[in-house]
Amino acid sequence: MIPRYQKILFAILLLASLGMGFKLWQLRERAHRSLLTGEASAPTAAPVVAPAEQATLVVANDMDNSLVPQVHSLPLPADPGSRARAVLGKLLDLYAAPDSTHPVPGGAQSVAQVFLMPLPGAKSTDGSDNQLAVVNLSGTFAASHPSGLETESLTVLSICATLRANLPSIGEVRFLVDGQQRPTLAGHADLTRTYLTSQATPTEGTRQ
């Protein structure tokens, strides 16, 4: 015979478990909705109201394996993360153009986010805190990227060099694809390592 107080205690615990489960489910749904809202409100293109500024894009060329700086005028937001995303979006728009020297489909939508994080103890050349940029690329971009040592490396290096040209405080770059780490971009370029922007410098063609 189970005592009455144990039955009451069991009923209370059961109700509390169900209530907490329901509350947890509610919180999960709320977090999911807020995440979706945040993604939808993230700027997919540089705001038109931002003033146009000169940005240096380091453009790759498959024919001579070169990285050539080009100056373009485009509206750039003040926030460094959004600024980095806008610059990279323009770079990938150039690559998606029909007459591109480094044809890669996808365009500006291929850069989902750029996160900037301070690197502890590191200072950039202008004395400001050095930063790590985490570039989150879309899975579609990676899936449609041409495969090859040269073309993949040029994409990675041109992104690093463009970030350095416009945001000198960025000293290191890491890549994610759909928020996850991925071994390679399209079978060749290593995406597991941290790239130093100081090593991704514009180069003249080396065709012989």
Least distance to another protein, CB of residue 71, Å: 24
Q: Which of 31, 149, 179, 204 binds another protein (CB under 8 A)?
A: 149
Q: CA nearest 87: which of 99, 73, 98, 100?
A: 73
Size of the site for another protein (CB under 8 A): 25
Residue 146 within binding range of another protein, rule CB under 8 A: yes
Return the structure tokens found at 9: 């205690």
Minimum gap (Å) between residue 192 Cβ and another protein: 8
Phi, then psi, of 195 in degrees rounded to 5: -95, 135
Candidates 10-18, 28-36, 105-113, 189-197; binding stretch for another protein (CB under 8 A): 189-197
Within 63-102, which residues bind another protein (CB under 8 A)? 63-65
Q: Which residues contact 52 (CB under 8 A, 6 or more apart)?
A: 73, 74, 75, 76
**Of residues 168-187, those binding another protein (CB under 8 A):** 186-187
CB of 106 to another protein, least distance (A): 15
Non-local CB neighbours of 185 within 8 Å, separated by 6+ positions = 142, 145, 152, 155, 156, 175, 177, 191
User: Nearest 5°: CA angle at 85, between 196 and 39?
Assistant: 125
Task: Considering the complex, state which of residue 53 and residue 62 has its C-beta at the smaller distance from another protein.
Answer: 62
Q: Which residues are near another protein by CB under 8 A?
A: 62-65, 146-151, 153, 157, 186-190, 193, 195, 199, 203, 205-208
